[in-house]
Amino acid sequence: MPKLHDVIAIARAAGAAIMAVYQTGEAGTTNKADASPLTLADLAAHQVIVSGLAKLHPCYPILSEEAADIAYRERASWTCYWLVDPLDGTKEFIKRNGEFTVNIALIENGIPIMGVVYAPVLDVCYFGGVGFGAFVQRGTNAAQAIHAVVAAENETIKVVASRSHSDERTAALLQKLGKVECISMGSSLKLCLVAEGAAHFYPRLGPTMEWDTAAAHAVVNAAGGKVCRADGSALSYNKENLLNPAFFVLSNTDTRLMRAVA
């Protein structure tokens, strides 16, 4: 298996490529066919990651948001591959609020077994995987182990929500939970807040793609959390349609929240 520290180094290098564009103030924004934004930073990070991963483990194929036009008949044979979002939170990048990330995940048989999420403006890196545990490193500080947590019986439930997307169904769900505190955040950092215990719950009822969630999903799993559908089954990867269903992020042991979403 590839070494986690090597993947972290690639994510940081991609972050540096993003920052080189970010600091110019000229994103060079265009629109993709689905009208979602694409910047020079997306493309620069993609090139760094693809080149780095190809050298690290040339036998593993790579599926990146910026090179996702790979037929399912080809992908269906993949048992282990890299799933990449070179710049998750392009809208946050354009808004210049710093809440965007580099996402690199290793998928095995539809399950994310390793993930790195790096936020270059914040200089925060979340990483983890099967057999590693989950960690966060802020700046040059030592990495700290992280764990998902369950809200105590009378504790306010901290719910993380998207800064760029809102959903009436999410508002209705929060009403069911009772006493909640909402934390706004962009990109895959939302999942990471649950992984490190800074939030208890992240419901996502709106659309996302597999590359949006895979890296942080691996971190959440390693931190003792789960990313699941309303029936409790885990999100799976390398589907024919790469669109994720609605999902929920919470601690593995939080039966109260699972009853609320079922």
The pLDDT value given to residue 166: 59
DSSP assignment letter at 171: H
In contact, 220 and 177? CB cutoff 8 Å: no
Which of 181, 28, 219, 191 is CA-nearest to residue 105?
219
Per-residue pLDDT, 78: 97
Nearest to 98 by CA among 167, 168, 18: 18
| DSSP 8-state class, residue 143 | P
The chain-wide mean pLDDT, for the chain, equals: 91
| Helix/strand number for the chain, H first, E second | 8, 14
Cβ–Cβ < 8 Å for 82, 60: yes
Paired strand residues for 64: 67, 84
**What is the DSSP annotation of 204-257?**
E-S--BHHHHHHHHHHHHHTTEEEE-TTSPBP--S-SS-B---EEEEETT-HHH
SS3 at position 67: strand
Do residues 16 and 68 touch, judged by C-beta distance below 8 A? no
For the stretch 7-55, pLDDT in tens is 999 999 999 999 999 888 666 566 554 546 677 889 999 999 999 999 9
Q: Rounded CA gap, 49 and 60, in Å? A: 13
Dist CA 260 CA 176 (whole Å): 7
Name the band, by pLDDT with cuts 50, 70 and 90, for residue 165: low
- Residues 6 or more apart in contact with residue 214 via CB below 8 angstroms: 83, 103, 105, 107, 112, 115, 237
Q: Bin 184: left if φ > 0, else alpha if -120 < ψ < 50, else beta.
A: beta
pLDDT level of residue 136 (50, 70, 90 thresholds): very high
Residue 66 has pLDDT above 70, yes or no: yes
**Lowest-pLDDT range of 42-51, 90-99, 227-236:** 90-99
Please give the structure tokens belonging to residue 63: 């599926």
> Do the Cβ atoms of 92 and 187 come closer than 8 Å?
yes
Q: Which pTM value belongs to this model?
A: 0.94
Neighbouring CB atoms inside 10 A of 47's CB total 15
